[in-house]
Amino acid sequence: MSDYHDDHHWRSRIVTEPEGLRQILDEVRSIAVIGYKGPGKGPAHSVPGYMQEQGYTILPVNPKLSDKLSNVVATVNELTEAVDMVNIFRRSDAIAAHADEILKMVSPPRVVWLQLGIRNDEAATRLARAGILVVQDRCLLVEHRRFFIASK
């Protein structure tokens, strides 16, 4: 019986319902962005930019930019402050390695959010079993606008 309870409990951390998404966006304040891109480089720049305009603290993570831009770190383990969320802009097949990184963080985030088109059920399960809320295949900007801009 306890196995069923444990199994059910972690499954509740895979967030798909609108009220769960809204609550995450309402409570999160700081977001590390894995796969962050420089200006003019598509959604991996415009989405974090939008979230920053909405008052969220954005911490860019990209090993290809960490030596070019002063505010960018190569991995989440180089962050000097705890974050509420890790938002990921990487292919689905790269997510397992990022889940490993996230699980090794000194202060793991409350939430891992995989952007629209990104899904890795095995990695999501590992993160959820570790106590982290997981959102897959959803655009942070679209969901934020749906709950907070449309209602104004």
Residue 8's pLDDT is 65
Q: Measured between alpha carbons, how far is residue 62 from residues 12, 73, 92, 152 in Å?
A: 30, 6, 16, 34
DSSP 78: G
| Residue-range definition of the domain harbouring residue 125 | 2-149
Residue 6's pLDDT is 52
59/101 Cα distance (integer angstroms): 16
Computed on alpha carbons and rounded to an integer, the radius of gyration of the chain in Å comes to 15
- Count the domains in the chain: 1
Residue 40's pLDDT is 81
pLDDT in tens, 111-122: 999 999 999 999
CATH number at residue 126: 3.40.50.720
Its pTM stands at: 0.92
Residues of the chain where predicted confidence (pLDDT) is lower than 70? 1-8, 150-152
Residue 145's pLDDT is 96
Residues 6 or more apart in contact with residue 143 via CB below 8 angstroms: 21, 25
Encode burial over 52-74: b for 16+ CB neighbours within 10 A, e otherwise: eeeebebbbbbeebbeeeeebbe
